[in-house]
Structure 1
Amino acid sequence: MTSAPPHPPPAGPHPRIGVLGSYGGFNIGDESILTSVLGCLRAQRPQARLVVLSRDAAHTRAHVREADEVVDWEGVSRNRVHDTLASLDVLVLGGGGILYDGEARRYLRLVRAAQERGVRTFAYAVGAGPLGEPEDRETVRTVLAEMDDVVVRDEESRLVLEEVGVEREITVTADPALLLEPEPFTDRMMRNEGVPAHGRLVGMSVREPGRAAEKLDEGDYHALLADVADFLVRRLDAHVVFLPMERHDVRHAHAVLSHMSAPDRGRILHGAYSPGQLLGFMRHLDLAVGMRLHFVIFAALSGLPVLPLPYSGKVFDFARRIGAPALVGVAREQAGLLLAEVDRLWDEYPQRRADLRSRVRELCGLAGETCARCGALLDEIGGSPDPDTVSEVRRLSA
């Protein structure tokens, strides 16, 4: 372990706190994480200067109210980014799934640059894996060893980091988005989207194959989810609403819709909504079936019967933690099993509701612990929080 440079003088009551993650990428999951992290930091230090390092600063400025500054970290000179890092008292990495092959080294080079300038660093409920590339593994080992605190959002991430060779305390909490507050999704919004105001509604989430879901066969899972949607239309006399959590999801939702025998009972949300508004929309649903992690998180927060369709470990882990059924894989030959699981989920949910709510409360408490640990680091660098904010921080950890 290399020795870190001396830390700068105490920051005082108005620290500059940088937040680095996969922000500005038009992904509702990442943006919900950013909203929650900034909310935590603002509760901890109302007078702090919050600086977001974004992949698309213009997008982040337009959609994030809590940030005082937003700067690009891609496509700009290294000196410019390093000047921003040097101006910080603390750099918060994450949260979300950013420590994986091809990306981990890019984020952690900035963390290392901050450390070299005496900036304190905190890993905020990050996700890790897969990590098989030697350069990424070495960077993770060396940089995380020098961070002030490392918090991951699930047990799988801790195991990945231990396998890589990270030899330090790693705390497991939960995804920061569990602290997201819902915003109203109004009747006018419903009408504008053509979603019926009365009758049952089922939410669905689909995603594209990619680095996180390389084994998905597009035609296979499009047809499978169309079978599920048609079944729910018949079984519940429902309309099915697809919620795009990322811009590429729209194309895949249309593909599923094209395979349905009852496409007239399907809708795709096309408006640009904040994470809080999409969480608010979930309150209109009766059941949820989906692939994206934060769709499943939003469903759980809303108290819905939810069937996750895991494509990666992070979805399996969250399904396990909320006690939800989770099928292995998303393949057409599983159609009968999947339909039977959806049917059982609907029938048994009244008996499962209390257990789900209890598990979600526990996870929200764990998400609040990340905020409290970050606050402890801020206490170390000086400038205790305003007494009026202490109760809010305690609420996050309750």
Structure 2
Amino acid sequence: MVDRDGPRVGVLGSYGGRNLGDEAILVALLDGIRRDRPDARLTVFSRDPAHTRRTHADVDVVAWEGVSRSDSGQVLDGLDLLVLGGGGILYDREARRYLRLVLAAQERGLPVVTYAVGVGPLTDAVDCSMVREALSASAHVTVRDNESRQALEEAGLTVPITVTADPAFLLKPEPFELDLLYAEGVPRDKRLIGISVREPGRAAEHLDEDGYHRLLAQVGDFLVQRIDAYLVFVPMERDDIRHSHGVLSHMTAADRGRILHGDYRPGQILGLMPHLDMAVGMRLHFLIFAALANIPFLPLPYAGKVFDLAKRLGAPALKGVNREVEGPLLAEVDRIWDEREQRFAPMGERVSQLCAEAQGTADALKPLLQALDGRIPTGGTGQGTGPRQR
């Protein structure tokens, strides 16, 4: 950690290398704080401290899962501000895990802000109660989409909620040389279609694993035959590799697909996108990366956050990922390819708007950061508005 004598800012989210989308959020969030307070000392609460230390050598890193309340309290006592988010962390049976630390911070008079969080599904009584208590006492609340605001309002939160955009819209691409693709077995001089899959689970409880594997296999075979394409499966989590194999296992032209296995940074995956001719995907941040690269893409919504992204970008989106949409899905893939230039040319303006909204999250945090010099800033809706000694 580089020695700095400015305010100490903690960042709490689903960080630690398990998901490239979450890591993209962390990169953008930290860059924003550094821009506004270059002297800030940053502490990341990580689910895998070793990974976070490797990827962010200039921050302090602490574990928070399985850590006692007293040990976490010692870390919180050394902070001047706690940032919750971003990313989809406030949902049933998971929100309480983050909010326990938030409530402990607020008990100490530590100001808390939410940073473009994703919310929902949120119906569990315990989680809803903790959300109301913790976020009502936060300095300000920003969420990344309209679905998240609605989920908070339905949970009973009554304080102002600002809708911004996912912080990953501010990520900067890193070079991704074609030689990296060739080393992964992707052939030269082919039309490349990026594919993103995900696992069923609490964030995608209604996803039928075998059904969507077969559906995407049909899409893959169609693209191979229709445009002589080669498929590049892009895992955003390590378990996506298994589900990519599941799709390939149902494809007639399975030899026309490769799964990336390299350990890539979020900026590198964003840098990969311009090498693709089109993208079809489920993972939210894979689709955000495609939009930033201005390549044609088709979202496969499994949750409201993907619908919301498609709506805000003006991208097509079918309702659900199941065998009943097989015909319309193939027709939409065909249409996107034929009309890719005229359909996606206007999207650049919408992407720029979302980038500006993502910057709005950082702008909302800026006054708090500038007021921090070892004391809590005055104002806001949070608790504790007087000086706080380190």
Structure 1 stretch 109-118 or stretch 12-21: which is displaced more? 12-21
Q: 1:268 aligns with which of 255, 259, 263?
A: 259
Partner AA of 1:101 in structure 2: D
Q: Percent identity?
A: 62
Secondary structure (helix, strand or coil) at the match of 1:114 reads helix
Q: 1:39 aligns with which of 28, 31, 34?
A: 31
Q: Do the aligned partners of 1:185 and 1:277 also contact (CA within 8 Å) in 2? A: yes
Q: How does 1:193-272 map to 2 (within 5 A)?
A: 193-272=184-263
Deviation at 1:108, TM superposition (A): 1.1
Q: How does 1:90-105 map to 2 (within 5 A)?
A: 90-105=81-96
Query: Normalising by the residue count of structure 1, what TM-score does the alignment of the two structures yield?
Result: 0.91
Matched residue count: 371
| 1:157 paired to 2:148 | yes
Q: Do the aligned partners of 1:257 and 1:263 also contact (CA within 8 Å) in 2? A: yes
Partner AA of 1:335 in structure 2: E
Q: 1:60 aligns with which of 28, 46, 52?
A: 52
> Segments of 4+ in structure 1 off by > 4 A?
none
Partner AA of 1:47 in structure 2: D
Q: Distance in 2 between matches of 1:28 and 1:46?
A: 25
Q: 1:130 aligns with which of 111, 121, 138?
A: 121
Alignment-derived partner of residue 67 in structure 2: 76
Secondary structure (helix, strand or coil) at the match of 2:346 reads helix
Cα deviation per residue 1:363-389 (whole Å; 9 max; x = unaligned)?
A: 000000101111111123349xxxxxx
Partner AA of 1:175 in structure 2: D
Alignment-derived partner of residue 17 in structure 1: 9
Partner AA of 1:365 in structure 2: A
Deviation at 1:199, TM superposition (A): 2.1
Q: Distance in 2 between matches of 1:381 and 1:146?
A: 18
| 1:303 paired to 2:258 | no
Q: Do the aligned partners of 2:89 and 2:118 also contact (CA within 8 Å) in 1? A: yes
Q: Distance in 1 between matches of 2:365 and 2:345?
A: 31
Alignment-derived partner of residue 9 in structure 1: none
Deviation at 1:90, TM superposition (A): 0.6
Secondary structure (helix, strand or coil) at the match of 2:345 reads helix
Cα deviation per residue 1:286-310 (whole Å; 9 max; x = unaligned)?
A: 0000011011111101101110000
Q: Do the aligned partners of 1:290 and 1:308 also contact (CA within 8 Å) in 2? A: yes
Secondary structure (helix, strand or coil) at the match of 1:283 reads helix
Q: Distance in 1 between matches of 2:289 and 2:314?
A: 15
Alignment-derived partner of residue 6 in structure 1: none
Alignment-derived partner of residue 381 in structure 1: 372
Q: Distance in 1 between matches of 2:359 and 2:343?
A: 25
Q: How does 1:239-388 map to 2 (within 5 A)?
A: 239-382=230-373
Alignment-derived partner of residue 381 in structure 2: none
Unpaired runs of at least 5, structure 2: 375-390
Alignment-derived partner of residue 382 in structure 2: none
Cα deviation per residue 1:39-62 (whole Å; 9 max; x = unaligned)?
A: 111111111101000111112112
Q: Distance in 2 between matches of 1:261 and 1:382?
A: 62
Deviation at 1:103, TM superposition (A): 1.2
Deviation at 1:25, TM superposition (A): 4.9
Q: Do the aligned partners of 1:13 and 1:382 also contact (CA within 8 Å) in 2? A: no
Secondary structure (helix, strand or coil) at the match of 1:94 reads strand
Q: Distance in 2 between matches of 1:183 and 1:103?
A: 32
Q: Do the aligned partners of 2:147 and 2:304 also contact (CA within 8 Å) in 1? A: yes
Alignment-derived partner of residue 135 in structure 2: 144
Partner AA of 1:131 in structure 2: L
| 1:170 paired to 2:161 | yes
Cα deviation per residue 1:233-282 (whole Å; 9 max; x = unaligned)?
A: 11111100000001110000001111111111101000000000111111
Q: Distance in 2 between matches of 1:218 and 1:299?
A: 24
Q: Distance in 2 between matches of 1:263 and 1:319?
A: 29
Cα deviation per residue 1:123-172 (whole Å; 9 max; x = unaligned)?
A: 00001111111111111011101100100000111111111111111100
Q: Do the aligned partners of 2:45 and 2:61 also contact (CA within 8 Å) in 1? A: yes
Q: Distance in 2 between matches of 1:381 and 1:34?
A: 21
Q: Do the aligned partners of 2:36 and 2:370 also contact (CA within 8 Å) in 1? A: no
Secondary structure (helix, strand or coil) at the match of 1:194 reads coil
Alignment-derived partner of residue 384 in structure 2: none
Secondary structure (helix, strand or coil) at the match of 2:230 reads strand
Unpaired runs of at least 5, structure 1: 1-11, 384-398
Deviation at 1:13, TM superposition (A): 6.9
